[in-house]
Chains A and B, each alone.
Chain A
Amino acid sequence: MFHAERFVEKSISILQKEIQGKALIAFSGGVDSTVCAALVNKAVGDQLIAVHVNTGYMRKDEPEQVKQLMRNLGLNYRYINASTEYYQALTGVEDPEKKRKIIGEKFIRIFESVGRKEDIHYLVQGTIAPDWIESGGGLRDTIKSHHNVGGLPKDMKLTLVEPLRDLYKDEVRKVARVLKIPVAERQPFPGPGLAIRIIGEATPERTKVVREACDIVEKEIEHAAAKGLMELPWQYFAVLIPIKTVGVHGDKRAYGNTIAIRAVQSVDAMTCHYSTVPHEVLDTISTKITNTLKKKVNRIVYDVTNKPPGTVEWE
């Protein structure tokens, strides 16, 4: 069995040997990077600097929440707003693998520049098993390049430290509970963020649309789960499909994009079953999204694909 207490003890002693000097952690505020930061902080204290990069593809109010989280954890942190740079780098990019690789490389370049300024030689990442498994290499096929593995540039100057490499999300959550970190039950959110929830080019305007839709899906599903109408899914969000269909708004023709609602049940993200969401909940989400996003979105669909054959995120 996996023993979270033993894992914490063992990791701390390994980390104290491994990290000689200052280290930087790529901090997204998700379960993995938060647990990883708390663990490394326990091992090396203020030698650890948490860096949160706002890519412009964060969810609603997320940068503020992440800053608050870093403060609550007592981390020595830096906040970098790189939205403009990311939007520029992704202009005209439609291929999901290219998006992931550009985002991954950009993260590293930012971390390297912080490293140069502050004399840091180690990069700590909250990489977990599915990240390197799906990124492929050797005999293994590449399903998608996770930004923190397959998206790393080959000439990276920092030394990688990845204490959670062999863990799956359910085990990371167990570690979070042992460390008493409040994010244990938070749903996963991928590093490339909303950029991979927009099919095709991830423009700032489309990002606004999918951000709003994701917010509605999250709030409504959490509300329904709190009321006991459904089990809280493993992950739940919206995907923007830039395909236009015809609708009617107040006796006038509408011609807007489509939003797909995705909600899945899983334990470790390696297999997933789509969630059973009550029709009344889907109904509320559908109406709210179309009424809020009016001209932008006039059709909502629900994704009923398992993994395999699908993956959780669409890209």
Chain B
Amino acid sequence: MVRIYVIDNGGQWTHREWRTLRDLDVETRIVPNTTALKELQKDHIHGLVLSGGAPRIGLKGSLGNCAEYLDAAEFPILGICAGHQFMARHFGGKVQPSKTPEFGQIELSLCIEEDFLFKGVPKKSIVWESHNDEVTHLPKNFITLGESENCKIQAMRHRDKHFYGLQFHPEVEHTQYGERIFQNFIGLCEE
């Protein structure tokens, strides 16, 4: 059984991420973001989800031990919302308050021809958002996978590692292809 933990950065939908993974038959747990990487490795996890968090957490300061996970992980990591913003900042990108924050229903446009995480997701689909800040400059070694009208970096990927960041929320019921995205992420972790 594939084992993927959810790092809790205090998001409203952290538990939804756990539920989506559990519904897809993943062995999963919510763990505080202060958990040491060593502890996670002891459980032989195959992947991590970095949850979103309370407003502005992505802008500055640390996000528990998320930096340690990103520096040393040999497994895939999916950063969502604040988790995505922190990932960008950690690798040298920039996060700023959004000119137009997005809440609720938004259209996501994919800007790549093919990517494993978005396998089976059409070029345009409905996703749900809830953010005040966003990634404005992509870190080196990352590529943009998707955008929306008001946010140019909705999805990004590390060039060499299985590190993904999503500004929107694939874990909520109203995101059209959310479960598909999770299935694909699980696929990456199974590799």
Q: What is the interface of chain A, defined by CB distance below 8 A to chain B?
A: 1-2, 129, 133-134, 138-141, 143, 166, 168, 266-268, 270-273, 306-309
Question: Whose C-beta in chain B lies nearest to the C-beta of A139?
Answer: B10
Q: Do residues B128 and A2 form an inter-chain contact, with CB atoms below 8 A?
A: no
Q: Do residues B103 and A308 form an inter-chain contact, with CB atoms below 8 A?
A: yes
Question: Whose C-beta in chain A lies nearest to the C-beta of B172?
Answer: A271
Closest beta carbon of chain B to A271's beta carbon, Å: 4
A273–B129 Cα distance when bound, in Å, is 13
Give the top 10 A-B pairs by smallest Cβ distance, nearest first.
Answer: A139-B10, A309-B103, A306-B104, A141-B54, A308-B103, A271-B172, A140-B10, A308-B130, A267-B173, A271-B174
Is B158 interfacial (CB 8 A cutoff)?
no
Closest beta carbon of chain A to B112's beta carbon, Å: 26
Q: What is the interface of chain B, defined by CB distance below 8 A to chain A?
A: 8-16, 19, 22-23, 25, 33, 53-55, 57, 103-105, 128-130, 172-174
Closest beta carbon of chain A to B153's beta carbon, Å: 20
Residues from chain B with a CB closer than 8 A to the CB of A129 are 15
Closest beta carbon of chain B to A1's beta carbon, Å: 6
A168–B20 Cα distance when bound, in Å, is 12
Q: Which listed residue (A1, A134, A140, A270) contacts B172, Cβ 8 A?
A: A270
Q: Which listed residue (A138, A143, A166, A272) contacts B12, Cβ 8 A?
A: A143
Q: Which listed residue (A1, A140, A141, A308) contacts B23, Cβ 8 A?
A: A1
Residues from chain A with a CB closer than 8 A to the CB of B9 are 139
Question: Whose C-beta in chain A lies nearest to the C-beta of B12?
Answer: A133
Q: Do residues A133 and B54 form an inter-chain contact, with CB atoms below 8 A?
A: no
A288–B25 Cα distance when bound, in Å, is 49
Q: Do residues B12 and A134 form an inter-chain contact, with CB atoms below 8 A?
A: yes
Closest beta carbon of chain B to A150's beta carbon, Å: 14
Closest beta carbon of chain A to B81's beta carbon, Å: 12
Closest beta carbon of chain B to A47's beta carbon, Å: 31
Question: Whose C-beta in chain B lies nearest to the C-beta of A268?
Answer: B173
Residues from chain B with a CB closer than 8 A to the CB of A134 are 12
Closest beta carbon of chain A to B9's beta carbon, Å: 6
Residues from chain A with a CB closer than 8 A to the CB of B8 are 139
A223–B9 Cα distance when bound, in Å, is 44
Q: Do residues A271 and B54 form an inter-chain contact, with CB atoms below 8 A?
A: no
Q: Do residues B104 and A309 form an inter-chain contact, with CB atoms below 8 A?
A: yes
Q: List 8 A-B contacts (CB under 8 A).
A: A129-B15, A139-B9, A140-B11, A140-B12, A166-B15, A266-B173, A271-B172, A306-B104
Q: Do residues B174 and A268 form an inter-chain contact, with CB atoms below 8 A?
A: no
Q: Do residues A141 and B10 form an inter-chain contact, with CB atoms below 8 A?
A: yes
Question: Whose C-beta in chain A lies nearest to the C-beta of B105?
Answer: A306
Residues from chain A with a CB closer than 8 A to the CB of B10 are 138-141
Question: Whose C-beta in chain A lies nearest to the C-beta of B131?
Answer: A308
Closest beta carbon of chain B to A295's beta carbon, Å: 37
A134–B13 Cα distance when bound, in Å, is 10
Q: Do residues B16 and A268 form an inter-chain contact, with CB atoms below 8 A?
A: yes
Q: Do residues B55 and A271 form an inter-chain contact, with CB atoms below 8 A?
A: no
Question: Whose C-beta in chain A lies nearest to the C-beta of B63?
Answer: A139
A273–B10 Cα distance when bound, in Å, is 24
A272–B103 Cα distance when bound, in Å, is 12
Residues from chain A with a CB closer than 8 A to the CB of B104 are 306-309
Closest beta carbon of chain A to B84's beta carbon, Å: 17
Contacts A2-B23, A270-B172, A271-B174 known; list 9 others, CB within 8 Å.
A134-B12, A138-B10, A140-B54, A141-B55, A143-B12, A168-B19, A273-B174, A309-B104, A309-B130
Question: Whose C-beta in chain A lies nearest to the C-beta of B129?
Answer: A308
Residues from chain A with a CB closer than 8 A to the CB of B16 are 268, 270
A273–B173 Cα distance when bound, in Å, is 10
Question: Whose C-beta in chain A lies nearest to the C-beta of B55?
Answer: A141
A307–B105 Cα distance when bound, in Å, is 9
Q: Do residues B173 and A2 form an inter-chain contact, with CB atoms below 8 A?
A: no
Closest beta carbon of chain B to A144's beta carbon, Å: 11
A278–B130 Cα distance when bound, in Å, is 29
A134–B172 Cα distance when bound, in Å, is 15
A140–B16 Cα distance when bound, in Å, is 14
Closest beta carbon of chain B to A149's beta carbon, Å: 14
Q: Do residues B173 and A270 form an inter-chain contact, with CB atoms below 8 A?
A: yes
